[in-house]
Amino acid sequence: MASNSPRRRELLATLGYKFDIVPSRFEERAEGLSARETALAFARGKAHEVFSRYPGHIVLGADTVVALEGEIFGKPADDEDAKRMLSKLSGKTHSVFTGVCVLSPKGTRECVAETRVEFFPLGEELIARYIASGLPADKAGAYGIQDGFPLVKAVEGSYSNVVGLPVEEVGAILSALGGEKC
């Protein structure tokens, strides 16, 4: 897996495949792309960078972005950026896109999963407590649905996609490309 994300590692492990973690050195830069296109472009970049070093293996690259009204939220730069993102998401419904690219000697498979997430209206105190916890720092949109804070009112689509990896789609892709089970 071309990711250092502990959440993706946990989700991939639930599928029962053998895998190693090989963080990608791909630099995430995209301008003029939609959220869906950005997630897939970053997933492709990560997968291709690692596959260039391990060409005989199956390599999974994934990237998650949050989008609200055409604005793309990646990981927050700092606490102020996290506060800005959470304040914008408060009381609204947004999309979470995870791009997946799997490269193998048998071929390439790609997909983008979209999940709609509705936030509760978030008060300043809740936002401040959540940011102080340090949990938003490494997450797209500055939140983790699994973090235990009362942020999310409703989810339409894949919960695991919001965490960072659409396990339903990834399982089907790995099975088709001959991934080895534990």
3-state secondary structure 41-60: HHHHHHHHHHHHHCCCCCEE
Going by the DSSP 8-state scheme, the letter that residue 103 receives in this structure is E
Residues that are catalytic:
63
Cα–Cα distance between 95 and 21 in angstroms, integer?
27
Cα–Cα distance between 180 and 16 in angstroms, integer?
9
In contact, 51 and 6? CB cutoff 8 Å? no
Closest by Cα among 57, 66, 79, 97 to 178 = 57
DSSP helix/strand/coil, 63: strand
Residue 85's alpha-carbon distances to 68, 89, 94, 112, 166, in angstroms, are 10, 6, 11, 22, 23
Amino acid at 171: G
Cα–Cα distance between 182 and 178 in angstroms, integer?
13
Cα–Cα distance between 12 and 7 in angstroms, integer?
9
